[in-house]
Structure 1
Amino acid sequence: MQKSSIIFLERKFPSANMILIKDQFPMLIDTGFGSEVKETERFIKEAGVSPEELQLIVNTHYHSDHVGGNFYLQKQYGTQIAAHKWDADLINACDPEACSAEWLDQPVEPYRVDRKLSDNDEIHTGSRTLKVLHTPGHTLGHISLYEPEEEVLICGDLFHRNDIGWINNFREGVASIQRSLESLDRLSKLPIGRAYSGHGPQIENPLAAINAARNRFEKWLTSPEKVSWHACKRIFSFTLIIKNGLAKEEMDHYLLQCGWFQDFARYSFLVQPEEFIQILLDEMIRSGAASWHNNRLIAATSYQASNEEWLNKNMKPRDWKPHYFLA
């Protein structure tokens, strides 16, 4: 048998990064965005693992860029899926709040969680054991995974090399920053040689990244407007990515039907949603998060445009039906 290895797959938006544990019982951590599932499958094969051999998919949390490939891999290969028990209950009940997909307007095809995870659970891949660490903040059911032999941390969207996961007070609770700080404090006590997050490159100096994340969260405790701007720009940029931009003439109608936009306008910035449209657009341009190209607003970050046919499915948990889960 080949030596076990941890393979990090850095991906462009709209997909999150993936980590493949190549071992006696191969395991994939996160599956990217739904429209990129063929690329997800190709990455697995190129790493020397047949998709049929995958024993388990573990999701760090249930956002669309992390769970989008679940449907295909579970239906095509019968791959088991594991997630934190709080995520699992929402997903398996086809709850409209699952994945925050409705509120974010992000399509997610249906899947079932086969294994519910709790804090301090262990996942065995043959020669390795990964410890499940409940690290809420970015979402309530967010988990990290720690492999002690190589001192590897897989931290999802809790923190990145030069950024932190956006905070969703409206769906994850007003104490999300405090939860994030507690999660960071817990991780900082581990011996970590390298870390992999949901976006961006490998984190070479994890403790420095944790300290930087902690400092930023602590500043946010006294600057709630910064929390909201960070979230709005991340959410709207992701919308522009998956839609490959938005035309100026469709902007007002689109934004006004989004739950996230309504909530941030009314409750974070205390303005009417109609007023917030231009405020948000001005900030996207000012900050360099997006720019106009032939009357179409395009995200500034590097990304891979989604397939229009796939986006037209517009699948949300409210549409999920039990027959989707049948082989």
Structure 2
Amino acid sequence: MTTRLPASMQVFERGWLSSNNVLFTGPHDTALVDSGYLTHAPQTLALLRHALQGRPLDRLLNTHLHSDHCGGNALLQASYGCHTAIPVLEADKVAAWDEEALSYRATGQQCARFTFDATLAPGDVLELGGLRWQVLAAPGHDPHALLLFCADEGVLMSGDALWENGFGVIFPELAGEPGFAEVGATLDLIATLDARIVIPGHGPLFDDVAGALTRARGRLAYLSGDPVRNAENAVKVLLKFLLLERRALALEALPELLGSIPLVERVRTHYLGRSAGELAQWAGAALVRAGAARVEEGQLIDI
């Protein structure tokens, strides 16, 4: 694998609860792309302090505003006073701190309130780490998500639009909005880029871009072939997120816990037609079958 990055870049590969972070230490300023989940914010700050070796963090940018990508924003702003740029179509929601529109209430996830100084829009060109980066639209997983691409180095920051094996949950479809076609269009866009290395939002860097695109398209065909599959996938992912955050969940509490998450309730009633108890039993068993959890003494335990 050829995953050599420019000297001004460093990637903190995080666990699946928190997004990967990309740190730029350029000659004139420093910048971080994405800040992880709220519960890991102190760890994010510690990683930064160690890597920056006394330099300030000048800039903070977000590929999109799901809680696992911007949950550390508030702490980093308080610690560094860093200039913060977010996707332009999220600006009004952040200014009003509309947790419903920002998805935090719907998904049952946490995000401390943060502010912003500037916005990012498709077509923008940025300088990060002394390199030129294009801002590209990446709808699908999130309708306002962005890609950052450095053509000179062939490096793509893909967020949750493309992982080595798949992509993020297609949330718009669950809210009754289009998402499958948008994922496909984003994958087509990535295929036109001459990317040498991809830095995904989660998981390791990879250089087999063609292989990843093939796998992602196969995954998209599977999910779009029956909307129930996308709905079930979302429930499994949201339960796994809770498990990552809490490490263990009482089996008897799962129906009420999942029922307290508005998006899960919508999926259950609109797509799956199962009782709360049936859905909780199915989701827990699905994680166990996937090797993502185990059952021990009446608890679902994270693996």
TM-score by length of 1: 0.85
Shift of 1:298: 1.7
Shift of 1:48: 3.4
| Structure 1 residues 130-279: aligned runs within 5 Å | 130-169=133-172, 173-279=176-282
* Candidates 38, 43, 61, aligned match of 2:42: 38
Q: What CA deviation, in whole Å up to 9, does each residue of 1:12-71 have, x standing for no partner?
A: 232111111121221101011112222212222332354x62221111111111111100
AA paired with 1:260? L
Kindly indicate whether the alpha-carbon contact (under 8 Å) linking 1:82 and 1:117 is maintained by their aligned counterparts in 2: yes
AA paired with 1:45? R
Measure the CA separation in 2 of the matches of 1:172 and 1:278: 24
TM-score by length of 2: 0.91
Q: Provide the secondary structure at the position in 1 that maps to 2:126.
A: strand
Q: What CA deviation, in whole Å up to 9, does each residue of 1:227-259 have, x standing for no partner?
A: 122211111100111112211232222122111
Shift of 1:274: 4.2
Range moving further from structure 2, 149-158 or 253-262: 253-262
Shift of 1:110: 0.4
Range moving further from structure 2, 118-127 or 19-28: 118-127
Measure the CA separation in 2 of the matches of 1:96 and 1:39: 24
Q: How many residue pairs were aligned?
A: 297
* Candidates 36, 56, 62, aligned match of 2:65: 62
AA paired with 2:172? N
AA paired with 2:43? E
List gaps (5 residues or longer) in structure 2: 1-5
AA paired with 1:35? T
Kindly indicate whether the alpha-carbon contact (under 8 Å) linking 1:152 and 1:195 is maintained by their aligned counterparts in 2: yes
* Candidates 8, 21, 24, aligned match of 1:18: 21
Q: Which runs of 4+ in 1 moved over 6 A?
A: none
1:84 lines up with 2:84 in the alignment: no
CA RMSD after TM alignment: 1.9
List gaps (5 residues or longer) in structure 1: 301-327
Identity over aligned pairs, percent: 28
Q: Corresponding residue for 2:110? A: 107
Q: What CA deviation, in whole Å up to 9, does each residue of 1:269-312 have, x standing for no partner?
A: 12343442223233233333322122111233xxxxxxxxxxxx
Q: Corresponding residue for 1:125? A: 128
Change (3 A) 1:157 1:109: same
Measure the CA separation in 1 of the matches of 2:175 and 2:65: 12
Name the structure, 1 or 2, with higher relative contact order (CA <8 Å, separation 6+).
1
Kindly indicate whether the alpha-carbon contact (under 8 Å) linking 2:16 and 2:203 is maintained by their aligned counterparts in 1: no
